[in-house]
Each structure stands twice: as structure tokens, then as C-alpha cells.
């Protein structure tokens, strides 16, 4: 599976969790001890964000990272790759 798709999925899930908790990017950044720009980069699926930063943000969202077997991307995800 393409690593870009993996980070895109993680970004989507993190953004959804943050919004479900009613947090702004700034509030999440404060909770995680990260700059807001790092949260923005994560939510954009940036490939340059360190795993330690993801761990801090996920912890602040009361979440953890779990490794699961890859599944085929949905049609929407494939179309999004070409936009």
C-alpha cells in the first residue's frame, strides 16, 4: 500500500476525532505540546512529520496508533489521489 495513502487515512481520522471532541487545532496543539503548524501538517497528511509528534497528538486525542493489515482503497480515495 502507498505510504501517502496511509498518512492520508491517518490525517482524516485524526481531524475527525479532533472535530468530534470539539477541539480547535490550537487547543489540540496545546494539549499535545506541539506547535499548531505541526497539527496542520498532520491533518494535511504531511510525510515529514515525525512519529513522535503523531504519538503526542494521538495521546492528546485519547487515541493510539494500531497496525492492521492494509485494505484496498475506496473509489473516493483513489479519485482523491488524482485531484
Q: What is the pLDDT of residues 19-31, one digit of tens each?
A: 999 999 999 999 9
| pLDDT reported for residue 34 | 99
**Please, what is the average pLDDT of the chain?**
91
DSSP labels, 1-40: --HHHHHHHHHHHHHHHHHHTT--HHHHHHHHT--HHHHH
Tell me: pLDDT of 69 over 90. no
Interval 53-78 mean pLDDT: 88
Give the three cell numbers for residue 51.
Answer: 512519529
Contacts of 15 by beta carbon, 8 Å cutoff, 6+ apart: 43
| Cα distance between residue 55 and residue 73, in whole Å | 24
| pLDDT reported for residue 75 | 82
| pLDDT reported for residue 1 | 65
In the chain the domains, ranked by start, together with CATH numbers, are: 3-77 (1.10.260.40)
Amino acid at each position: 500500500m502507498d505510504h501517502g495513502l496511509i498518512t492520508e487515512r491517518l490525517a482524516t481520522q485524526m481531524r475527525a476525532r479532533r472535530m468530534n471532541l470539539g477541539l480547535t487545532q490550537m487547543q489540540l496543539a496545546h494539549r499535545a505540546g506541539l506547535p499548531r503548524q505541526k497539527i496542520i501538517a498532520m491533518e494535511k497528511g504531511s510525510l515529514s512529520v515525525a512519529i513522535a509528534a503523531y504519538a503526542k497528538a494521538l495521546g492528546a486525542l485519547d487515541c493510539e496508533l494500531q497496525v492492521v493489515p492494509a485494505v484496498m482503497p475506496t473509489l473516493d480515495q483513489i479519485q482523491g489521489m488524482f485531484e
